[in-house]
Amino acid sequence: MTAHRITLDLGDIRITGIAEPGRPGMPLLVCLPGGGYNASYFDVAGYSLMDAARREGFPVVSLDRPGYGGSTALKGEVSFRRNAEVLQGAIAELWHRNLSDAPGIVLVGHSIGGAIALHLAAGDRTWPLLGVSVSGIHHEAQRSNNALKSEPPTSTLEFSREHLLRFMYGPEGTYDPGVPDIAKHAESSVPLAELVEVAGQWCTDFAELAARIEVPVHYGLAEHEGFWPSSDESVAAFRDSFTAAPSVTARRILGGGHNIDHHYVGATFHKEQLDFAKGLVSPAR
C-alpha cells in the first residue's frame, strides 16, 4: 500500500481519499467504496485494486464518500442522488488536476458505491466519462430494511464481525481467514439512510437510471452474495437494463462473496476491470 492521501475542498464540503499516480495517456480510475467502508476498501494489502492499477500504469483515486473518512457528511437529505451531486464536483476537481495526462475517467464502484457510480453515469457531468465498472449491486433486494426506517435519518451503524463474515465475505474457503483483520482499517460506520435506500428507493430508481447510461458498462456479481439474488438470470436481468449503453460486459463471479475484491478471486476480477478500462482508450492514443 503506497497510496497517498488527498483532500478536495469544494467550498463548504471536503472530500478526502487516496491516490496513485499513473502514466500519461491512461484513463483516470475513480473508485467509490460501498456502505461501511472508507477509501481504503480498494487498497487492502494483498487485495488492492489500487496496487494492480499502479502496476499497469493507471492513475487511480479512491474517494471517501460523504460522511466517510475525512469527508464532510451530507446535511439534510442523505441519499445516493445527493452523494452523486457532491462527488460530481469532487471528480471535476480531480479531472482538472489530471486534464493534461488522462483521456477520460472510468468509474469503479462497489455495492452502494456502485449504485452511486451509476447515478453519476446517468446524470450531467463536467468531465469526460469513458465507462463504468460496478460490482456487489443489483436491483432486486433479498432483504427489506423496513425496521431501519423508524430510526433517526442521521443514525449510523457499525457492522459486527459476525455480520461482516456472513454478508460481506460468505463461505469459508473463498477468502483468506486473515483478510477481515487486514481490512479492518477500511471499515467505517454506515449511515442508516443508505441501507434503507439500497433495499428500497434504489430498486425503484434503477431501471430509469440504467436506461440513461450511454457509456460501456462492466458488471460483476458474486456467487455467494450476501445482499442480492445471485444467478445467471439475475445477472442477465441487470445487464439487459442498460438499453442505451454501447456495450455491457456482465458475469457472475464464481467463488466470490459480496466483497469480491477481498476474496481469492479478487485478483482475477481486478484484471478484468483493468482490461475493461484499457479497452475504452483507442489505440490512436
pLDDT band at 153 (very low <50, low <70, confident <90, very high): low
Domain definitions of the chain by residue range:
4-279
pLDDT band at 284 (very low <50, low <70, confident <90, very high): very low
Taking alpha carbons only, the member of 283, 246, 273 closest to residue 134 is 273
Q: Which residues are registered as beta bridge partners of 20?
A: 60
pLDDT in tens, 4-18: 999 999 989 999 999
- Given a cut of 70, is residue 285 above it in pLDDT? no
Domain 4-279 listed as CATH 3.40.50.1820? yes
What is the average pLDDT value for the chain, to the nearest integer? 93
- Given a cut of 60, is residue 145 above it in pLDDT? no
The predicted model gives 164-177 an average pLDDT of 96
Strand order in 217-224's β-sheet? 4-10, 13-20, 60-63, 28-32, 105-110, 129-135, 217-224, 248-257
Distance CA 241, CA 59 (A): 30
HSE (side-chain half, CA atoms, 13 Å) at 183: 30
pLDDT at 155: 84
pLDDT band at 106 (very low <50, low <70, confident <90, very high): very high
* pTM summary value: 0.94
- Given a cut of 50, is residue 150 above it in pLDDT? no
State the amino acid at position 253 in one-letter form.
Answer: I
Which H, E and C letters describe 40-62, residue by residue?
HHHHCCCCCHHHHHHHCCCCEEE
The predicted model gives 35-41 an average pLDDT of 97
Which run of H or of E encompasses 209? Answer: helix 201-211
